[in-house]
Amino acid sequence: AIDVTLPGLPLPAGGLHPISRVLDDLIGIYRQMGYAVIEGPEVEEEHYNFEALNVPWYHPARDLQDTFWLEDGRLLRTHTSPMQIRYMVDHEPPFKIVVRGKVYRYEATDATHEAMFHQLEGLVVGDGISMSDLKGTIAEMARGLYGASAKARFQPSYYPFVEPGADFAVYWENPRGESKWLELGGCGMVHPNVFKAVDDLREAAGKDRVYEGKTGFAFGLGLERIAMLKYGIPDIRYFYANDPRVIGQFRGEL
Ligand code: TYR
């Protein structure tokens, strides 16, 4: 006989991958600031991944070693920045967007490098957008991630698609009271050559040139480092090895 009053067995539950969790946190922070969230193609045209972003053929970032090329001349995007171009060709300012997605680099893997990883890219374009708007935005993200006392720091850096450009770090304190500056990503003011490349593409598509004279900022960061630190995951390769001893720890907490 069946005792229908016995409690049932728990159903096996899935769980969100640590990268999904970090992404959800970040997207929540940016939605609160009024950003739209978009995605784009992982197979990309060379022109969008490089030239239109002011990365000429002779730039070291173009080193063929870093890029997965397809036989038809397209490539796996090396960053989410080509979506800056695609979005601006299709939309007029003002706007605030973040782009989420996978990116690919042809390089040896080790504890901190994977051939595929995730980025979140931001782009804000309008009139009179300044570097202090950018800094306030990154500081707001830092507070959203690490609490009200979190700080953000900028250091001058170079990316062809911004001028001036910077790397940003956030001050991070863990529950044990240990703290350090965590380098998260790059950012800067959108380079005029990028706006020009966008207007050229728009003109070729029969659209108005609306970007020359606008101002904007952009930023890009990787999600894996944030997740490694947050969840104490020592090796980036663990995220995608599908080892149940790792991902099983994220079960049942949807
Ligand atoms: N695309 C850069 C990278 O992958 C990150 C970045 C994004 C830097 C936007 C600056 C910027 O404005 O390394």
Q: What is the pLDDT of residues 12-65, one digit of tens each?
A: 788 899 999 999 999 999 999 999 999 999 999 999 999 999 998 887 767 655
* C-alpha span between 112 and 102 (Å, rounded): 16
**Which residues, other chains included, contact 206 with Cβ-Cβ below 8 Å and sequence gap of 6+?**
none
What percentage of the chain carries pLDDT values higher than 90? 80
Query: What is the residue with the minimal CA distance to atom 2 of ligand 1?
Result: 220
Which ligand 1 atom minimizes the distance to the CA of 81? 1
Mutate to test the pocket of ligand 1, among 59, 63, 161 (most ligand atoms within 8 A of CB): 161
Query: What is the residue with the minimal CA distance to atom 8 of ligand 1?
Result: 186
CA separation (Å) from 110 to 35, 122, 237, 243? 34, 28, 7, 17
Q: How confident is the model at residue 79 (pLDDT cuts 50, 70, 90)?
A: very high
Q: What is the pLDDT of residue 64?
A: 55
Return the higher-pLDDT residue of 247 and 214: 214
Cβ 113 vs Cβ 107: under 8 Å? yes
Cβ 107 vs Cβ 65: under 8 Å? yes
Measure the CA dihedral 223/229/234/235, to 10°. 10
| Paired residues of 122 in beta bridges | 98, 219
Q: What is the mean pLDDT of the chain?
A: 93
52 lines ligand 1 (CB under 6 A): no
Q: Render pLDDT for 209-241 as a digit per residue (tens, 0 to 9).
A: 999 999 999 999 999 999 999 899 999 999 999
Instruction: Give distance in angstroms: CA of 206 to centre of ligand 1.
Output: 29
Query: What is the residue with the minimal CA distance to atom 10 of ligand 1?
Result: 187
Instruction: Give distance in angstroms: CA of 172 to centre of ligand 1.
Output: 21
76 lines ligand 1 (CB under 6 A): no
Under DSSP, the state recorded for 63 is -
154 lines ligand 1 (CB under 6 A): no
254 pLDDT more than 60: no
* C-alpha span between 241 and 194 (Å, rounded): 38
247 pLDDT more than 90: no
Q: What is the pLDDT of residue 224?
A: 97
Instruction: Give distance in angstroms: CA of 54 to centre of ligand 1.
Output: 12
Angular region, 54: left φ>0, alpha ψ -120 to 50, beta rest: left
What percentage of the chain carries pLDDT values higher than 70? 98
Query: What is the residue with the minimal CA distance to atom 5 of ligand 1?
Result: 220
Mutate to test the pocket of ligand 1, among 88, 120, 219, 221 (most ligand atoms within 8 A of CB): 219
Which ligand 1 atom minimizes the distance to the CA of 79? 4
- Phi/psi for 95 (5° steps) reads -160, 165
Strand order in the sheet with 152-157: 36-38, 95-104, 116-126, 215-222, 179-190, 162-173, 152-157
Helix (H, G, I), strand (E, B) or coil at 44: strand
**Considering Cα of 91, then 93, then 95, then 97, what sign does the dihedral take?**
positive
* Amino acid of residue 10: P
Global pTM value: 0.93
